[in-house]
Amino acid sequence: MTTPRPGRGVRGSRSGRPVMALLDLLGRRWALRILWELREESPLSFNALQRACGAVSPSVLSQRLLELRENGLVEPDTEGRYRPTRLARDLEVPLLALDGFAKRWARRQLRSTRRAAGKHREVGKA
């Protein structure tokens, strides 16, 4: 699998649009979790990052770190620990906004599901 880059087609899109390349990169297994953990506690060694992420395998973590480094979102410090770049820090604001949206969406979905379940119970009583 090639590293997503603006100007090239990516999974799900041949447009080369930067947003599509970024979504492809961030949508890869563990990529967002890695950035999230580095946002919380940074810098982290490979082993500390693996523990923070939970069940990520060393090979997947290594591949994601390579992709994130190639795209300028993660960098090693002088001791070989990983930290987000300034560019990745700029991504925090939109990701936190997306997190807020996701929470509102989840609450709405839950209310909608509960209302639908209540209507099904009412129909069954008739």
HSE toward the beta carbon, residue 85, CA cutoff 13 A: 12
- Tokens 């090979």, located at residue: 59
Q: Does the 18-125 domain belong in CATH 1.10.10.10? A: yes
pLDDT of 65-98, one tens digit each? 999 999 999 999 999 999 999 999 999 999 889 9
pLDDT band for 16, please (50, 70, 90 cuts). Answer: confident
Tell me, what's the pLDDT at 51?
95
Measured CA to CA, the distance from residue 109 to residue 51 in angstroms comes to 32
Domain edges within the chain? 18-125
Helices (H) and strands (E) in the chain, counts: 5, 2
Question: What CA–CA distances, in Å, run from 104 to 2, 99, 107, 111, 113?
Answer: 34, 9, 5, 11, 14
pTM, 2 dp? 0.79
Structure tokens at 38: 């580095």
